[in-house]
Amino acid sequence: MSTVQRLSKVVGDMLANEPPPRVVLDLSEVTFCDSQGLGTLVVLSRKAGLVQSHLVLTNVGDFLLRVLDITGLRGALMIN
């Protein structure tokens, strides 16, 4: 919750100006993710797709994988 706005702004800015083919988010330090965080990841993934880019999540921990499975969002996000 404390980083969602900053993440959204940084990735949004990247996608607005000559979007890269891929934006990779290293989630190795993520120990908690609530519905706001999950929603932000989905929104950013959709925004990336609209500009022909991909949002890729890497180093996703077991906790977050379980949350994504429970919520049915694992298939909606690109996980490496």
Predicted confidence (pLDDT) per residue in 52-66, tens digit: 999 999 999 999 999
Joined tokens for residue 18: 């000559």
Q: Is 79 helix (H, G, I), strand (E, B) or coil?
A: strand
Joined tokens for residue 79: 């996980």
Q: Which amino acid is at 27?
A: L
Query: 2 falls in which pLDDT band (50, 70, 90)?
Result: confident
Query: Is the predicted pLDDT of residue 17 greater than 70, yes or no?
Result: yes
User: Which domains does the chain show, CATH number per domain?
Assistant: 4-79 (3.30.750.24)
> What predicted TM-score, i.e. pTM, was given to this entire model?
0.91
List 25's β-bridge partners, or say none.
57
